[in-house]
Amino acid sequence: MRADTQERGSDAMTLTVDRPETVEQEPGPEQPKRLSGSRIMCEALVAEGVEIMWGYPGGAIMPFYDALPEYSIHHVLVRHEQAGAHAADGYARATGKVGVCIGTSGPGATNLVTGLATAYMDSVPMVAITGQVARSFIGRDSFQETDIVGITLPITKHNFLVNSAAELGDIMHEAFHLARSGRPGPVLVDVPKDVQIEEALYTPAVRPHAVPEGAGGEYARAADLIARAQKPLIIAGHGVIIANGYDELRSFAEKSGIPVITTLLGLSCFPESHPLSLGWPGMHGPAHVNRAIDEADVIVAVGMRFDDRVTGKLETWAPNARFIHIDIDPAEINKNVPAEVGIIADARDALRALVDAVAPADHTEWLHSIKRNARPEGPPKDTTFITPSTVVDAIKSATNGEARLVTDVGQHQMWAARFYGYNKPNSHITSGGLGTMGYALPAAMGVKAGCPDEPVWVVAGDGGIQMNIQELATIAQEGLNIKVAIINNGYLGMVRQWQQFFHNRNYSETRISSPDYALLTAAYGLQGRRVTEKEDVQRQVEWAMSTPGAVVLEFCISQEANVYPMIPSGGSVATMIEEPEVVE
């Protein structure tokens, strides 16, 4: 995306960047060209189709920034490198393309760490580029030297310290290839300053995208198990979204008649309005969904990894089930749950093969017996306060369900996951594996860049929003049309809830104050309002939608609202805490 095609809010600052129309195209793309390391980096980015990246300059990456304006890549100057990494992550999740972020050596690189760990846990394809001190300074504790390759070993799919400009081009292309192939993930490329200046020959070498195929016989065995199941379930995860397997999942569910559960990261891979949709499992999943898992005799798990927030105590989880596990990462098969049939494949390919392999079946009775147990969500019992479900309902109706919701971490995340009812593919974006507070606002910048014509809403808590609130400046500078809903309960709500349940209401260090968000937003040149009345919610959300540019709405909710039901960490359905009939 280029700067000139972006939506701009009325008050947005306009930036013009002087850059030549095109880069020299001679000689042809297949001919090796003699270039500086920084131009090799730029050429490789362009060859990989990169149109936008998020970053922050500094000493060790200056040669790259010197070359960048010659190329048609839109660079977004974030206000903190962590935000750059989250924005690249949001872009990648929304588009399926590789997200790119960049920072300087030392503190610039370490600021990327949380963003890399977030992307790694959720299998998000990303390339992070860091400047490094010049080769002759490495290992001497030089100014702004940090071993970022060492630091990010366990939180990247792979990483590189580039030793010469001659290997830089191949490493850049290899990084993109690794990031998007198989199970996607972040890859870091650390480039010493003198390597950015050194010249070498460069030939573009974009690697084709290859996905493994599952073994044919496994599908027959899977179909056999499915045919004999009385109480089967599908649990679909993030893998279905990554593989674009929406239609295939739907065909498989409809043909086999099997009810569908989606994990937190799988939300929006299957329309929640579909009669076979059951919602999500685990710690905050509705009781009837967890009870269904308890009873199920066959579970078809697609592109999910049996996270402990889904399973609770493994020994007591799904005690009657036999598992068919489909994942692109062989290491996921049998990692947490033993699979009777393990299929190593791209989720879409596997689902397509399963559609052909299974016989049409009907499990209406099983489906009804599950749904009969569902507790009606009903109108909120607490009438005085704004409830989280009112807010997400208002967003959904004001956007005709077309919005992409980017949520932060905490109670509001669970409420937004639970009450929204996702029907549009890939419309729910959140940090699931790492649970990174401060993720939503910067990630939304990437989502918006990837989907410029779709409404993008952030739903965040008053704690998490303050972790990266500085990005309102980036949003203003870029003129991004992002709407933000802050669910303000005056607490680090999710932690306060645990303190209430498990620590005798000892609310130690969870009370948190907030700035006047409307005033703060105005200071950034954007518009914001505080909403305190339930009756006002819908109107204000509509106002936000009709206001050009970014808008921040603060919704004041009850301080002690809880997320129900809840299975305590490491527990099971038997230890579930349900909502009390009367809310105090």
Ligand X SMILES: Cc1ncc(C[n+]2csc(CCOP(=O)(O)OP(=O)(O)O)c2C)c(N)n1
Task: Find which of other proteins, ligand X, none residue 158 binds, CB within 5 to 8 Å per kind.
Answer: other proteins
* Nearest CB to ligand X, comparing residues 239 and 433: 433
State which residue, 304 or 405, has the beta carbon closest to other proteins.
304
Angle at 312 between CA 306 and CA 318, to 5 degrees: 70
Selected from 234, 495, 541, 550, the binder of ligand X by CB under 6 A is: 495
Site for ligand X in 378-417 (CB under 6 A): 408-412
Structure tokens at 20: 């030549």
Which of positions 150-179 make contact with other proteins (CB under 8 A)?
A: 150, 153-154, 157-158, 161, 178
Q: How far is the CB of 162 from other proteins (least distance, A)?
A: 12
Count of residues near other proteins by CB under 8 A: 15
- Piece of the chain touching other proteins by CB under 8 A; list 312-320, 334-342, 488-496, 501-509: 334-342
Contacts of 557 (CB under 8 A, 6+ apart): 385, 386, 387, 388, 487, 488, 489
What is the Cα–Cα distance from 101 to 85, expressed in whole angstroms? 6
**Residues catalogued as catalytic:** 81, 143-144, 193, 494
Q: Which is nearer to other proteins, 153 or 574 (CB)?
A: 153
- Torsion sign (Cα): 142, 144, 149, 152: positive
Residue 150 phi, psi dihedral angles, 5° rounding: -65, -45
Q: Where are the alpha helices (H) located in 153-286, listed in sequence order? A: 165-180, 193-197, 216-227, 238-242, 246-256
Of these, 23, 46, 77, 149, which contacts other proteins (CB under 8 A)?
149
Identity of the amino acid at 354: L
Q: Can you tell me the distance from the alpha carbon of 552 to that of 472, in angstroms, rounded to the nearest whole number? A: 10
Which one, 255 or 335, has the nearer CB to other proteins?
335
Which of 20, 29, 49, 330 is close enough to bind other proteins by CB under 8 A?
Answer: 330
- Angstrom CA distances, 275 to 138, 260, 309, 311, 574, stand at 60, 9, 25, 24, 27
CB–CB of 9/481 below 8 Å?
A: yes
Q: How many residues does the chain have?
A: 584
> For 561, phi and psi rounded to 5 degrees?
-65, 145
Please select the residue that binds ligand X; options are 90, 442, 463, 549, rule is CB under 6 A.
Answer: 463
**By CB under 6 A, is residue 464 in contact with ligand X?**
yes
Q: Which residues pair with 344 in a beta bridge?
A: 327
Instruction: Decide if residue 562 touches ligand X (CB under 6 A).
Output: no
Site string for ligand X, 430-459 (x = CB under 6 A): -----xxxx---------------------
Per-residue burial over 549-576, b if 16 or more Cβ lie within 10 Å, else e, is: bbbbbbbbbbebbbbbbbbeeeebbeeb
Least distance between other proteins and beta carbon 572 (Å): 22
493 touches which of ligand X, other proteins, none (CB within 5 to 8 A by kind)? ligand X
Burial 249-288 (b: 16+ CB within 10 A, else e): bbbbbebbbbbbbbbbbbbbbbbbeeebbbbbbbbbbbbb
Q: How far apart are CA 117 and CA 339, in angstroms?
A: 28
Q: Which is nearer to other proteins, 178 or 544 (CB)?
A: 178
Q: Minimum distance from CB of 82 to ligand X (Å)? A: 10
Among 11, 170, 272, 329, indicate the residue that binds other proteins (CB under 8 A): 329
285 near ligand X, judged by CB under 6 A: no
> Which one, 53 or 333, has the nearer CB to other proteins?
333
Q: Which residues bind other proteins (CB under 8 A)?
A: 149-150, 153-154, 157-158, 161, 178, 329-331, 333-335, 338
Q: Which residues bind ligand X (CB under 6 A)?
A: 408-412, 435-438, 461-464, 487, 489, 491-495
